[in-house]
Amino acid sequence: MKKTILLLIITLFSVNSLVQAKNYYIRMATNTSDWSKITADTAHIIVDYMDGDSFNAIINAYLATDTVWVAKGTYTIDNTIALKASQKLFGGFDGTESSLSSRELSDLDGNGLVEPWEFTNATEITSSVPALNSITLGANSIIDGITLRNIQNTTSTSTTTTIINIYGGVSGCILRNMTVKDCYVSSATSSVYTINASNGTLQNCLIENNSTEVLTGGSGTSFGGGLYLSSASAKAIGCVIRGNKSVNVTITKAKGGGVFMQSGSKLINCVVYNNQAQGQGGGVFFNDATSQALNCTIARNKAGLTGGGVYMNAGAIFNNSIVWSNIENSSTTTDANDVYYGGNAVGSFTTDYLAYGAIAKSDPVVYPALANVKLLTSGEFADNTIDGTGTLAPKFLNPTAFVGAPSDPTAVMQANFKLVTGSPCLNFGSKTLLDNLGISTDLMNTNRFGNTTPDLGAYELSINTALNNVSDKSLYSVFKNGKNLIVKGLNGKTNISLYELNGTLLQSINLNQSLATIPVSNKGVYIVKIRSLTNTETVKVIF
C-alpha cells in the first residue's frame, strides 16, 4: 500500500513538472543584451530569433500554460500562429523590463497624444510571402503590445480569409495595446476580413491602413476594411480605426470601410476616421438593430454608394457620438449622408445624443424620433469653428483636411480628433448610457464625469485642476523657437505635458533624451509640466 501511494505521488509530481508554466523571452539574435537581466533556468528560457526563422513555428511549439515576452525587432511568419487556450503573447519590450507596466511609450505618429499602443520599442510581426498568414486565438488567450504589419493573407482554404481570427465558440480572448497596420486580405472564393471577431475584446488598439478585397470571380463579402464584430460577445473599446479600405468586385458587397457590426456587438470610445468603402458605410456599417456604438467619433470617411459615415441596414443603438464631414461618392460636398437609414427597419433605431451633419433614408424607412441632437456643418473652413450659416462645427483639435483613405497615410496619422474649448459637443452626452455599460473613462483613460455631463465622441475634454506650483523659473531651459517649444537639460526618462491655462491637456510625450522639441500652433500662454524619475516641475511659457 505504501509503495502504491509513493508511486502515485511520484507520478503526480512528474506530470506536474511536464506541464509547469514556462516564461519564454524571445529576442533578435543580434541583440544579445536583451533579456540579459533574466536568470535563465527551466522555467525562464531565453530564445534567440535568427533571420529566416519561422516565428509562427516557434510560438506554436509552446504550451497553453506558457507566457511569451518578445523584445523589440521584426519577426517573420510564413503561416498561421495558433495561440492555445489561455496562452499569452506580449511585446513592446526594450529587453530590460521586469514588468508589463515598465514598457516605454512615445508619440510615434506625431498627433500630440501618447497612446497605449505606441511602444517606443516595437515588436513587429510581418509575413515573408503572401500566403495563408494569420493569427487564431484560443479561449482566454491574450495578445498585448504586438504590432502586426504588412501581413498578407491571399490564400483561402475555407469560407473566410482573415488576418486575426477569433471564431465561434472561443470566448474570453483579449487583443490589447496592439497595432494592426498595412495588412491586406484578398480572395476570389470567400468573404474577407482584417480582424474577424465573433467573440472577445479589442482594447486600446490601433487599426490602420488595412485593405480587404474580394477579387474578380468572387461572391463573398468584404466585411469591414479594419474590423468585423459579429456577436454580442464581441466589442472594441478605446480603439482608433483609420485609413482602412473595403473593396469588392461586386460593389454592394463592400460594407464598412472601417467597421462592420452585427448581432449586438459594441463599439465604445472609438475614433473611426478617413476610412473608405467601395459600397456602403464608409466608416461603420450596422447590420442590425442590436449593435451598439457609444461615445464614438466618426469623421472624414467615404462611401462609394451610400452612408459616408454610417450605414444602418436594419437599425442600431447609436448614442453620445459625433458623425461629421463624411461623404458619399455621388456627392461633391461633405456631410452628404453622414448617417444613412437603409433597409426596412421602421422604429428600430435608438439614436439620441448625437451630433451630425446630414441624414438620408431609403423608402419605406421612417426616421426615428431624434432627441438631444445637434446639427453640424462640414467644417470646410480654416478655423474649424462656426460658418456663416449659423450652424455648428465640432471644433476638433486637428482634423484631417480631406475625406477617405489617402495613398499617403502621414496626414491621417497626425490628425487629432480631441474636442477643444467652445465645441458644441462638450457636456452634451448622457451619463446614464455610460453607466449602463460600466464606462467611466474615455479613450485616453480620462474621467468622463469631471463635469458631471459627459462630452460627445471618444475624447473627454480634460480640465486639469492640479497645475500647482507654477513657476517662471526652472531647472531646465524652456523657451520658444519659432513655432516650437524647446526644453533643454533633460536627463533620463521624462514626460512633458503641455496645457492651456484652463488646464486643458494639449500634448503629452515621453522621451529619453536631453532635448525636446514640441510644435505649438497658436499664440498664447501655456503651462509645461516636466516630470522625470526624480523631479516634477511646472513652468509657464508665452508664445
Q: Give Cα 473 distance to the centre of its chain.
A: 39
Q: Is the pLDDT of residue 442 over 50?
A: yes
Nearest residue to 536 (alpha-carbon basis) of 489, 482, 477, 475: 475
Q: Where are the domains of the chain?
A: 22-128, 470-542
Please report the pLDDT score of residue 68 as a whole number. Answer: 98
Could you give the CA distance from residue 163 to residue 170 in angstroms, rounded to a whole number?
Answer: 16
191, HSE (Cβ side, Cα atoms, 13 Å):
16
Order of all β-strands in the sheet with 245-248? 152-153, 184-187, 211-214, 245-248, 276-277, 302-303, 327-328
The amino acid at 139:
A
Could you give the CA distance from residue 520 to residue 528 in angstroms, rounded to a whole number?
Answer: 12
Q: How far is CA 517 from CA 54, 478, 508, 513, 539, in A?
A: 40, 10, 12, 11, 16
Could you give the CA distance from residue 45 to residue 38 in angstroms, rounded to a whole number?
Answer: 9
User: Looking at residue 169, what DSSP letter applies?
Assistant: T
User: Looking at residue 116, what DSSP letter applies?
Assistant: T
pTM for this one? Answer: 0.82
Percent helix / strand / coil, the chain, rounded to 5: 5, 40, 55
Pairing status of strand 245-248 against strand 536-542: unpaired
Nearest residue to 109 (alpha-carbon basis) of 34, 17, 209: 209
First vs last C-alpha separation in the chain: 87
Nearest residue to 455 (alpha-carbon basis) of 429, 421, 420: 429
Could you give the CA distance from residue 541 to residue 524 in angstroms, rounded to a whole number?
Answer: 9
In this structure, whether the domain defined by 470-542 belongs to CATH 2.60.40.1220 is answered with: yes
C-beta of residue 349 within 8 angstroms of C-beta of residue 292:
no
Pairing status of strand 494-500 against strand 505-511: antiparallel
Could you give the CA distance from residue 443 to residue 308 in angstroms, rounded to a whole number?
Answer: 23
Could you give the CA distance from residue 94 to residue 102 in angstroms, rounded to a whole number?
Answer: 9
C-beta of residue 525 within 8 angstroms of C-beta of residue 501:
yes
Q: Any idea what the Cα angle at residue 504 is, between residues 501 and 506, rounded to 5°? A: 105
Instruction: Please write the tens of the pLDDT for every residue from 276-315.
Output: 999 999 999 999 889 999 999 999 999 999 889 999 888 7
Instruction: Please write the tens of the pLDDT for every residue from 465-514.
Output: 344 444 445 578 887 777 788 888 888 778 888 888 767 778 888 888 88
387-391, 415-419, 444-448, 454-458: least confident range = 387-391
Give the rounded percent of residues in the chain with a pLDDT score beyond 90: 48
Phi, psi of 45 (to 5 degrees): -120, 125
C-beta of residue 239 within 8 angstroms of C-beta of residue 264:
no
| Between 412 and 1, residue with greater pLDDT | 412
Please report the pLDDT score of residue 511 as a whole number. Answer: 81
Q: Chain-wide mean pLDDT for the chain?
A: 83
Order of all β-strands in the sheet with 484-488? 477-481, 484-488, 515-519
